[in-house]
Amino acid sequence: MDTQQIIAIVVVAVIAIALIVAGVLADRSRKKRIDAAEQAREDREAAAKAAADKAIAAKQAAGSEAGSAAGAASTPSGQKSGAESAESTEQAESTQSTASSIEPTSSAQSAQPESQTSQTAESQPQTPESATSRMTRLKARLANSANPFGKALFNILAKDHLSEADWEDVEDTLLMADVGADASEQLVDELRNDARITGTHDPAQVREALRSKLLAMVGTDTDRRLNADKPEAHKPSVIIMVGVNGTGKTTTAGKLARLFVADGKSVMLGAADTFRAAAADQLETWGAKVNVPVVRSDKDGADPASVAFEASQRAKNENADVLIIDTAGRLQNKANLMDELGKIRRVTEKNLPVDEVLLVLDATTGQNGMEQAKVFAQAIGITGVVLSKLDGSAKGGIVISVQKELGVPVKLVGLGEGPDDLAPFNPEDFVDGILA
Ligand SMILES: Nc1nc2c(ncn2[C@@H]2O[C@H](COP(=O)(O)OP(=O)(O)OP(=O)(O)O)[C@@H](O)[C@H]2O)c(=O)[nH]1
Protein backbone atom coordinates (compact mmCIF):
# COMPACT_ATOMS: atom_id res chain seq x y z
CA MET A 1 0.00 0.00 0.00
CA ASP A 2 1.61 3.29 -1.06
CA THR A 3 1.48 6.58 0.87
CA GLN A 4 -1.28 8.01 -1.33
CA GLN A 5 -3.58 5.08 -0.57
CA ILE A 6 -2.91 5.43 3.16
CA ILE A 7 -3.67 9.17 2.98
CA ALA A 8 -6.90 8.44 1.06
CA ILE A 9 -8.02 5.90 3.68
CA VAL A 10 -7.22 8.32 6.52
CA VAL A 11 -9.16 11.14 4.77
CA VAL A 12 -12.20 8.87 4.26
CA ALA A 13 -12.04 7.75 7.89
CA VAL A 14 -11.82 11.36 9.12
CA ILE A 15 -14.79 12.40 6.95
CA ALA A 16 -16.84 9.44 8.21
CA ILE A 17 -16.07 10.29 11.84
CA ALA A 18 -16.88 13.97 11.22
CA LEU A 19 -20.25 12.99 9.68
CA ILE A 20 -21.11 10.74 12.62
CA VAL A 21 -20.18 13.46 15.15
CA ALA A 22 -22.21 16.06 13.18
CA GLY A 23 -25.21 13.69 13.15
CA VAL A 24 -25.03 13.12 16.89
CA LEU A 25 -24.69 16.87 17.56
CA ALA A 26 -27.63 17.69 15.26
CA ASP A 27 -29.73 15.08 17.02
CA ARG A 28 -28.86 16.50 20.42
CA SER A 29 -29.62 20.06 19.38
CA ARG A 30 -32.92 18.94 17.92
CA LYS A 31 -33.81 17.19 21.18
CA LYS A 32 -32.81 20.32 23.09
CA ARG A 33 -35.08 22.45 20.93
CA ILE A 34 -38.02 20.11 21.44
CA ASP A 35 -37.37 20.09 25.20
CA ALA A 36 -37.15 23.89 25.18
CA ALA A 37 -40.40 24.11 23.22
CA GLU A 38 -42.08 21.74 25.69
CA GLN A 39 -40.71 23.75 28.62
CA ALA A 40 -41.96 26.99 27.07
CA ARG A 41 -45.38 25.36 26.56
CA GLU A 42 -45.51 24.18 30.18
CA ASP A 43 -44.49 27.63 31.42
CA ARG A 44 -47.22 29.22 29.36
CA GLU A 45 -49.77 26.72 30.68
CA ALA A 46 -48.69 27.39 34.26
CA ALA A 47 -48.99 31.15 33.69
CA ALA A 48 -52.42 30.75 32.09
CA LYS A 49 -53.56 28.51 34.97
CA ALA A 50 -52.32 31.01 37.55
CA ALA A 51 -54.18 33.81 35.75
CA ALA A 52 -57.35 31.67 35.61
CA ASP A 53 -57.07 30.81 39.32
CA LYS A 54 -56.67 34.50 40.11
CA ALA A 55 -59.73 35.38 38.05
CA ILE A 56 -61.76 32.60 39.72
CA ALA A 57 -60.66 33.77 43.19
CA ALA A 58 -61.70 37.33 42.31
CA LYS A 59 -65.04 36.04 41.01
CA GLN A 60 -65.60 34.00 44.18
CA ALA A 61 -64.78 37.00 46.36
CA ALA A 62 -67.27 39.09 44.41
CA GLY A 63 -69.87 36.29 44.69
CA SER A 64 -69.50 35.95 48.46
CA GLU A 65 -69.82 39.71 48.91
CA ALA A 66 -73.05 39.68 46.99
CA GLY A 67 -74.17 36.80 49.23
CA SER A 68 -77.40 36.21 47.37
CA ALA A 69 -79.22 32.90 47.75
CA ALA A 70 -79.49 32.55 43.99
CA GLY A 71 -75.77 33.10 43.66
CA ALA A 72 -75.10 30.32 46.13
CA ALA A 73 -77.31 27.89 44.25
CA SER A 74 -75.68 28.64 40.91
CA THR A 75 -72.03 28.59 41.95
CA PRO A 76 -70.29 26.66 39.16
CA SER A 77 -68.48 23.62 40.45
CA GLY A 78 -65.49 24.57 38.36
CA GLN A 79 -64.93 27.55 40.62
CA LYS A 80 -63.15 25.31 43.05
CA SER A 81 -59.67 24.15 42.19
CA GLY A 82 -59.00 20.77 40.63
CA ALA A 83 -57.22 19.67 43.81
CA GLU A 84 -60.19 20.66 45.97
CA SER A 85 -62.50 18.85 43.61
CA ALA A 86 -60.45 15.71 43.76
CA GLU A 87 -60.33 15.92 47.53
CA SER A 88 -64.06 16.32 47.93
CA THR A 89 -64.58 13.46 45.53
CA GLU A 90 -62.40 11.23 47.66
CA GLN A 91 -64.00 12.33 50.92
CA ALA A 92 -67.43 11.62 49.56
CA GLU A 93 -66.29 8.25 48.40
CA SER A 94 -65.68 7.12 51.97
CA THR A 95 -69.02 8.39 53.22
CA GLN A 96 -70.95 7.17 50.21
CA SER A 97 -74.31 5.65 50.96
CA THR A 98 -76.39 3.49 48.70
CA ALA A 99 -79.67 4.69 50.17
CA SER A 100 -80.28 7.83 48.20
CA SER A 101 -83.29 9.98 48.37
CA ILE A 102 -83.94 10.96 44.79
CA GLU A 103 -85.99 13.98 43.98
CA PRO A 104 -87.10 14.45 40.42
CA THR A 105 -87.56 18.16 40.00
CA SER A 106 -88.64 20.32 37.17
CA SER A 107 -87.46 23.85 36.64
CA ALA A 108 -90.71 24.97 38.23
CA GLN A 109 -90.68 22.37 41.01
CA SER A 110 -87.02 22.73 41.83
CA ALA A 111 -87.03 26.32 42.99
CA GLN A 112 -86.73 26.54 46.79
CA PRO A 113 -88.74 29.27 48.49
CA GLU A 114 -85.77 31.60 48.96
CA SER A 115 -84.40 30.93 45.50
CA GLN A 116 -87.82 31.63 44.05
CA THR A 117 -87.79 35.10 45.48
CA SER A 118 -84.19 35.69 44.52
CA GLN A 119 -84.28 33.96 41.14
CA THR A 120 -82.17 36.03 38.81
CA ALA A 121 -82.42 36.51 35.06
CA GLU A 122 -79.60 33.96 34.81
CA SER A 123 -81.83 31.08 35.92
CA GLN A 124 -84.92 32.19 33.99
CA PRO A 125 -85.68 30.05 30.94
CA GLN A 126 -84.18 31.76 27.92
CA THR A 127 -84.91 31.43 24.24
CA PRO A 128 -82.09 29.58 22.47
CA GLU A 129 -80.16 31.55 19.88
CA SER A 130 -80.81 30.37 16.32
CA ALA A 131 -78.33 27.86 14.93
CA THR A 132 -77.19 30.21 12.11
CA SER A 133 -76.63 33.17 14.38
CA ARG A 134 -74.81 30.98 16.89
CA MET A 135 -72.44 29.57 14.28
CA THR A 136 -71.65 33.03 12.88
CA ARG A 137 -70.91 34.38 16.34
CA LEU A 138 -68.77 31.40 17.35
CA LYS A 139 -66.79 31.48 14.09
CA ALA A 140 -66.05 35.15 14.61
CA ARG A 141 -64.91 34.43 18.16
CA LEU A 142 -62.58 31.66 16.97
CA ALA A 143 -61.18 33.86 14.21
CA ASN A 144 -60.56 36.75 16.60
CA SER A 145 -58.84 34.73 19.28
CA ALA A 146 -55.16 35.67 19.45
CA ASN A 147 -53.24 32.69 18.15
CA PRO A 148 -49.48 32.84 18.78
CA PHE A 149 -48.90 29.61 16.88
CA GLY A 150 -50.70 30.78 13.77
CA LYS A 151 -48.68 34.01 13.86
CA ALA A 152 -45.42 32.10 14.33
CA LEU A 153 -46.27 29.83 11.40
CA PHE A 154 -47.24 32.83 9.32
CA ASN A 155 -43.90 34.54 10.05
CA ILE A 156 -41.95 31.45 9.05
CA LEU A 157 -44.03 30.80 5.96
CA ALA A 158 -43.86 34.43 4.89
CA LYS A 159 -40.16 34.07 4.07
CA ASP A 160 -38.97 33.96 0.46
CA HIS A 161 -37.25 30.66 0.81
CA LEU A 162 -37.51 28.00 3.51
CA SER A 163 -34.25 26.84 5.02
CA GLU A 164 -33.65 23.70 7.05
CA ALA A 165 -33.94 25.78 10.24
CA ASP A 166 -37.32 27.13 9.06
CA TRP A 167 -38.63 23.59 8.62
CA GLU A 168 -37.57 22.81 12.15
CA ASP A 169 -39.33 25.94 13.39
CA VAL A 170 -42.51 24.82 11.62
CA GLU A 171 -42.25 21.48 13.44
CA ASP A 172 -41.64 23.17 16.80
CA THR A 173 -44.63 25.44 16.28
CA LEU A 174 -46.87 22.47 15.53
CA LEU A 175 -45.54 20.76 18.65
CA MET A 176 -46.43 23.79 20.73
CA ALA A 177 -49.94 23.79 19.29
CA ASP A 178 -50.19 20.26 20.77
CA VAL A 179 -50.35 18.56 17.41
CA GLY A 180 -48.24 15.79 18.99
CA ALA A 181 -44.64 14.71 18.33
CA ASP A 182 -45.39 11.95 15.81
CA ALA A 183 -47.94 13.93 13.85
CA SER A 184 -45.76 17.08 13.78
CA GLU A 185 -42.75 15.15 12.56
CA GLN A 186 -44.77 13.28 9.96
CA LEU A 187 -46.32 16.52 8.66
CA VAL A 188 -43.02 18.34 8.31
CA ASP A 189 -41.25 15.33 6.76
CA GLU A 190 -43.97 15.02 4.17
CA LEU A 191 -43.96 18.73 3.39
CA ARG A 192 -40.19 18.83 3.09
CA ASN A 193 -40.15 15.77 0.83
CA ASP A 194 -42.88 17.25 -1.35
CA ALA A 195 -40.86 20.47 -1.57
CA ARG A 196 -37.75 18.52 -2.58
CA ILE A 197 -39.58 16.52 -5.22
CA THR A 198 -41.44 19.46 -6.72
CA GLY A 199 -38.51 21.82 -6.14
CA THR A 200 -40.86 24.38 -4.65
CA HIS A 201 -40.00 26.37 -1.56
CA ASP A 202 -42.80 28.85 -2.09
CA PRO A 203 -44.14 29.51 1.42
CA ALA A 204 -47.69 30.15 0.17
CA GLN A 205 -47.77 26.73 -1.47
CA VAL A 206 -46.26 25.10 1.61
CA ARG A 207 -48.89 26.79 3.78
CA GLU A 208 -51.66 25.45 1.57
CA ALA A 209 -50.10 21.99 1.61
CA LEU A 210 -49.83 22.15 5.41
CA ARG A 211 -53.49 23.14 5.62
CA SER A 212 -54.64 20.22 3.50
CA LYS A 213 -52.41 17.75 5.34
CA LEU A 214 -53.70 18.98 8.72
CA LEU A 215 -57.25 18.72 7.42
CA ALA A 216 -56.64 15.17 6.24
CA MET A 217 -55.26 14.29 9.70
CA VAL A 218 -58.24 15.83 11.48
CA GLY A 219 -60.61 14.12 9.04
CA THR A 220 -63.15 15.91 6.89
CA ASP A 221 -65.51 13.02 6.22
CA THR A 222 -65.81 11.68 9.78
CA ASP A 223 -69.38 11.31 11.03
CA ARG A 224 -69.48 13.78 13.93
CA ARG A 225 -73.22 13.79 14.54
CA LEU A 226 -74.37 13.11 18.07
CA ASN A 227 -75.88 9.64 18.21
CA ALA A 228 -79.11 11.19 19.54
CA ASP A 229 -79.39 13.07 16.23
CA LYS A 230 -79.09 9.96 14.09
CA PRO A 231 -82.23 8.33 12.70
CA GLU A 232 -81.45 5.07 14.50
CA ALA A 233 -81.24 6.79 17.93
CA HIS A 234 -83.19 5.22 20.77
CA LYS A 235 -85.96 7.12 22.47
CA PRO A 236 -85.08 8.31 25.03
CA SER A 237 -81.53 8.62 23.82
CA VAL A 238 -79.09 8.53 26.74
CA ILE A 239 -75.90 10.61 26.89
CA ILE A 240 -73.42 10.28 29.78
CA MET A 241 -70.92 13.10 30.36
CA VAL A 242 -67.52 12.06 31.76
CA GLY A 243 -64.13 13.64 32.36
CA VAL A 244 -61.61 14.78 34.96
CA ASN A 245 -62.40 17.56 37.44
CA GLY A 246 -63.43 20.93 36.14
CA THR A 247 -63.22 20.24 32.41
CA GLY A 248 -66.74 21.57 31.83
CA LYS A 249 -69.05 18.53 32.03
CA THR A 250 -71.93 20.25 33.81
CA THR A 251 -71.67 23.38 31.66
CA THR A 252 -71.59 21.25 28.51
CA ALA A 253 -74.57 19.20 29.73
CA GLY A 254 -76.53 22.43 30.15
CA LYS A 255 -75.50 23.83 26.76
CA LEU A 256 -76.26 20.50 25.11
CA ALA A 257 -79.72 20.37 26.69
CA ARG A 258 -80.34 23.80 25.22
CA LEU A 259 -79.31 22.65 21.72
CA PHE A 260 -81.79 19.77 21.89
CA VAL A 261 -84.52 22.05 23.24
CA ALA A 262 -83.85 24.40 20.32
CA ASP A 263 -84.44 21.39 18.03
CA GLY A 264 -87.84 20.87 19.65
CA LYS A 265 -86.79 17.80 21.67
CA SER A 266 -87.93 17.00 25.19
CA VAL A 267 -84.88 16.72 27.42
CA MET A 268 -84.18 15.55 30.96
CA LEU A 269 -81.01 16.06 33.00
CA GLY A 270 -79.70 13.57 35.59
CA ALA A 271 -77.39 14.87 38.33
CA ALA A 272 -75.23 11.80 38.97
CA ASP A 273 -72.51 14.10 40.33
CA THR A 274 -73.54 13.46 43.91
CA PHE A 275 -70.27 14.20 45.65
CA ARG A 276 -71.15 17.83 46.24
CA ALA A 277 -74.61 19.32 46.61
CA ALA A 278 -73.30 22.35 44.70
CA ALA A 279 -72.82 20.20 41.61
CA ALA A 280 -76.49 19.17 41.52
CA ASP A 281 -77.44 22.78 42.28
CA GLN A 282 -75.34 23.92 39.34
CA LEU A 283 -77.10 21.45 37.04
CA GLU A 284 -80.45 22.53 38.43
CA THR A 285 -79.62 26.14 37.60
CA TRP A 286 -78.86 25.03 34.04
CA GLY A 287 -82.15 23.09 34.02
CA ALA A 288 -84.02 26.25 34.97
CA LYS A 289 -82.10 28.26 32.37
CA VAL A 290 -82.92 25.92 29.51
CA ASN A 291 -86.29 24.87 30.94
CA VAL A 292 -85.74 21.14 31.38
CA PRO A 293 -86.39 18.97 34.45
CA VAL A 294 -83.48 17.73 36.56
CA VAL A 295 -83.44 14.43 38.45
CA ARG A 296 -81.22 14.71 41.50
CA SER A 297 -80.68 13.40 45.00
CA ASP A 298 -81.07 15.77 47.91
CA LYS A 299 -78.31 13.92 49.73
CA ASP A 300 -74.61 14.70 49.50
CA GLY A 301 -72.67 11.54 48.69
CA ALA A 302 -75.67 9.52 47.50
CA ASP A 303 -74.93 6.64 45.15
CA PRO A 304 -74.48 8.23 41.69
CA ALA A 305 -75.58 4.99 40.03
CA SER A 306 -78.91 5.14 41.84
CA VAL A 307 -79.49 8.69 40.57
CA ALA A 308 -78.66 7.49 37.05
CA PHE A 309 -81.12 4.61 37.51
CA GLU A 310 -83.85 6.94 38.75
CA ALA A 311 -83.23 9.44 35.96
CA SER A 312 -83.32 6.77 33.25
CA GLN A 313 -86.51 5.31 34.71
CA ARG A 314 -88.17 8.70 34.76
CA ALA A 315 -87.00 9.58 31.24
CA LYS A 316 -88.41 6.25 30.06
CA ASN A 317 -91.74 6.70 31.83
CA GLU A 318 -92.13 10.21 30.49
CA ASN A 319 -90.95 9.21 27.03
CA ALA A 320 -88.37 12.00 26.85
CA ASP A 321 -86.35 12.35 23.66
CA VAL A 322 -82.98 12.78 25.37
CA LEU A 323 -81.58 12.12 28.84
CA ILE A 324 -78.23 13.73 29.67
CA ILE A 325 -76.50 12.31 32.76
CA ASP A 326 -73.82 14.47 34.37
CA THR A 327 -71.16 12.63 36.40
CA ALA A 328 -68.61 13.82 38.93
CA GLY A 329 -65.13 14.77 37.79
CA ARG A 330 -62.58 12.10 38.54
CA LEU A 331 -58.88 11.71 38.03
CA GLN A 332 -58.11 8.93 35.62
CA ASN A 333 -55.67 7.32 38.07
CA LYS A 334 -58.35 6.65 40.72
CA ALA A 335 -59.29 3.08 39.85
CA ASN A 336 -62.29 2.87 42.19
CA LEU A 337 -63.80 6.06 40.79
CA MET A 338 -63.24 4.84 37.26
CA ASP A 339 -64.99 1.55 38.18
CA GLU A 340 -67.90 3.58 39.45
CA LEU A 341 -68.41 4.96 35.93
CA GLY A 342 -68.85 1.43 34.65
CA LYS A 343 -71.48 0.88 37.34
CA ILE A 344 -73.35 4.08 36.36
CA ARG A 345 -73.49 2.81 32.81
CA ARG A 346 -74.58 -0.73 33.72
CA VAL A 347 -77.32 0.48 36.06
CA THR A 348 -78.64 2.98 33.49
CA GLU A 349 -78.73 0.20 30.91
CA LYS A 350 -81.19 -1.71 33.10
CA ASN A 351 -83.71 0.88 31.95
CA LEU A 352 -82.40 2.30 28.68
CA PRO A 353 -79.56 1.66 26.23
CA VAL A 354 -76.77 4.23 26.45
CA ASP A 355 -76.31 5.86 23.03
CA GLU A 356 -73.45 8.15 23.81
CA VAL A 357 -70.65 8.69 26.31
CA LEU A 358 -69.05 12.10 25.80
CA LEU A 359 -65.59 12.70 27.23
CA VAL A 360 -65.15 16.39 28.00
CA LEU A 361 -61.49 17.38 27.48
CA ASP A 362 -60.17 20.81 28.40
CA ALA A 363 -58.40 22.16 25.29
CA THR A 364 -55.77 23.80 27.47
CA THR A 365 -54.71 20.46 28.99
CA GLY A 366 -52.43 19.56 26.12
CA GLN A 367 -51.11 16.08 25.55
CA ASN A 368 -52.11 14.99 29.11
CA GLY A 369 -55.59 14.78 27.69
CA MET A 370 -54.46 11.75 25.73
CA GLU A 371 -53.78 9.78 28.91
CA GLN A 372 -57.18 10.79 30.31
CA ALA A 373 -58.92 9.78 27.11
CA LYS A 374 -57.36 6.31 27.10
CA VAL A 375 -58.37 5.50 30.68
CA PHE A 376 -61.93 6.82 30.30
CA ALA A 377 -62.29 4.89 27.06
CA GLN A 378 -61.28 1.74 28.90
CA ALA A 379 -63.52 2.32 31.93
CA ILE A 380 -66.79 3.25 30.28
CA GLY A 381 -66.21 3.33 26.52
CA ILE A 382 -66.46 6.73 24.87
CA THR A 383 -68.30 7.56 21.66
CA GLY A 384 -67.25 11.16 21.25
CA VAL A 385 -65.12 13.97 22.63
CA VAL A 386 -66.13 17.51 23.54
CA LEU A 387 -63.17 19.88 23.42
CA SER A 388 -64.09 22.56 25.95
CA LYS A 389 -62.52 25.99 26.57
CA LEU A 390 -61.20 26.30 23.03
CA ASP A 391 -61.93 30.01 23.39
CA GLY A 392 -59.13 30.22 25.97
CA SER A 393 -56.56 28.28 23.99
CA ALA A 394 -55.02 28.45 20.55
CA LYS A 395 -54.03 24.83 20.95
CA GLY A 396 -56.32 21.86 20.76
CA GLY A 397 -53.98 19.91 18.49
CA ILE A 398 -54.85 17.05 20.88
CA VAL A 399 -57.81 16.49 18.53
CA ILE A 400 -55.45 14.76 16.11
CA SER A 401 -53.91 12.35 18.64
CA VAL A 402 -57.22 11.49 20.34
CA GLN A 403 -58.92 10.67 17.08
CA LYS A 404 -55.94 8.76 15.75
CA GLU A 405 -55.30 6.67 18.83
CA LEU A 406 -58.86 6.05 20.00
CA GLY A 407 -60.73 6.27 16.72
CA VAL A 408 -63.31 8.47 18.48
CA PRO A 409 -64.38 11.71 16.78
CA VAL A 410 -64.35 15.13 18.38
CA LYS A 411 -68.02 16.05 18.06
CA LEU A 412 -68.40 19.39 19.82
CA VAL A 413 -66.33 22.35 20.93
CA GLY A 414 -66.94 24.66 23.87
CA LEU A 415 -66.18 28.29 23.07
CA GLY A 416 -67.25 30.07 26.22
CA GLU A 417 -69.29 29.87 29.39
CA GLY A 418 -72.59 31.08 27.92
CA PRO A 419 -75.55 28.81 27.14
CA ASP A 420 -75.07 29.16 23.38
CA ASP A 421 -71.29 28.72 23.39
CA LEU A 422 -71.28 25.14 22.13
CA ALA A 423 -70.77 24.30 18.48
CA PRO A 424 -70.34 21.23 16.32
CA PHE A 425 -66.66 20.54 15.66
CA ASN A 426 -65.79 21.85 12.23
CA PRO A 427 -62.42 20.61 10.85
CA GLU A 428 -61.96 23.57 8.47
CA ASP A 429 -62.59 26.19 11.17
CA PHE A 430 -60.34 24.27 13.52
CA VAL A 431 -57.39 24.01 11.10
CA ASP A 432 -57.81 27.63 10.04
CA GLY A 433 -57.79 28.46 13.76
CA ILE A 434 -54.35 26.84 14.12
CA LEU A 435 -53.00 28.47 10.94
CA ALA A 436 -54.71 31.86 11.34
N1 LIG B 1 -64.07 29.76 28.78
C2 LIG B 1 -64.76 28.64 28.91
N3 LIG B 1 -65.09 28.20 30.13
C4 LIG B 1 -65.79 27.05 30.24
C5 LIG B 1 -66.17 26.29 29.10
N6 LIG B 1 -66.84 25.19 29.55
C7 LIG B 1 -66.86 25.28 30.89
N8 LIG B 1 -66.24 26.39 31.32
C9 LIG B 1 -66.02 26.84 32.69
O10 LIG B 1 -65.19 25.90 33.35
C11 LIG B 1 -65.53 25.83 34.73
C12 LIG B 1 -65.80 24.38 35.10
O13 LIG B 1 -66.98 23.97 34.44
P14 LIG B 1 -67.94 22.84 35.04
O15 LIG B 1 -69.02 22.62 34.05
O16 LIG B 1 -68.34 23.14 36.42
O17 LIG B 1 -66.92 21.62 35.05
P18 LIG B 1 -67.20 20.12 35.54
O19 LIG B 1 -66.39 19.26 34.66
O20 LIG B 1 -68.65 19.82 35.60
O21 LIG B 1 -66.59 20.19 37.01
P22 LIG B 1 -66.58 19.01 38.13
O23 LIG B 1 -67.96 18.46 38.22
O24 LIG B 1 -66.14 19.70 39.37
O25 LIG B 1 -65.59 18.00 37.66
C26 LIG B 1 -66.73 26.73 34.92
O27 LIG B 1 -66.29 27.97 35.41
C28 LIG B 1 -67.29 26.88 33.51
O29 LIG B 1 -68.00 28.07 33.32
C30 LIG B 1 -65.79 26.79 27.79
O31 LIG B 1 -66.05 26.20 26.74
N32 LIG B 1 -65.09 27.96 27.76
CA of 243, closest atom in ligand 1: 19
pLDDT in tens, 338-395: 889 999 999 999 999 999 999 999 888 877 788 888 889 988 999 999 999 887 665 6
pLDDT in tens, 131-166: 667 666 666 665 555 455 666 776 777 677 778 888
Cα–Cα separations (whole angstroms), residue 329 to 300, 396, 411, 430? 15, 20, 20, 26
69-139+222-435 and 146-218 share one fold: no
- Under CATH, which number does the domain 69-139+222-435 receive? 3.40.50.300
Whether complex ipTM tops 0.95: yes
CA of 78, closest atom in ligand 1: 12
Residues touching ligand 1 (Cβ under 6 Å) are 76-79, 85, 243, 245-251, 273, 279, 328-329, 388-389, 391-392, 414-417, 421
Pocket test for ligand 1, best of 77, 141, 359 (most atoms within 8 A of CB): 77
67-72-73-76 Cα dihedral, nearest 10 degrees: 130
Q: What is the mean pLDDT of residues 395-409?
A: 82
Interatomic CA distance for residues 259 and 253, integer angstroms: 10
Lowest mean pLDDT among 102-116, 271-285, 387-401: 102-116
pLDDT in tens, 104-124: 444 433 333 233 323 344 555
Highest mean pLDDT among 147-151, 168-172, 269-273: 269-273
pLDDT for residue 42: 58
Strand 384-388's sheet: what is its strand order? 102-105, 294-297, 267-272, 322-327, 237-242, 354-362, 384-388, 410-414, 422-424
Interatomic CA distance for residues 66 and 44, integer angstroms: 33
Pocket test for ligand 1, best of 87, 324, 376, 417 (most atoms within 8 A of CB): 417
Annotated binding site for GTP: 243-250, 326-330, 388-391
Give domain limits for the chain.
Answer: 1-65, 69-139+222-435, 146-218
pLDDT for residue 131: 65
Residue 190 predicted with pLDDT over 80? yes
Interatomic CA distance for residues 206 and 195, integer angstroms: 8
Buried b (16+ CB within 10 A) or exposed e, 35-59: eebbeebeebbeeeeeeeeeebeee
- CATH 1.20.120 corresponds to the domain 146-218: yes
Q: Is 137 helix (H, G, I), strand (E, B) or coil?
A: helix
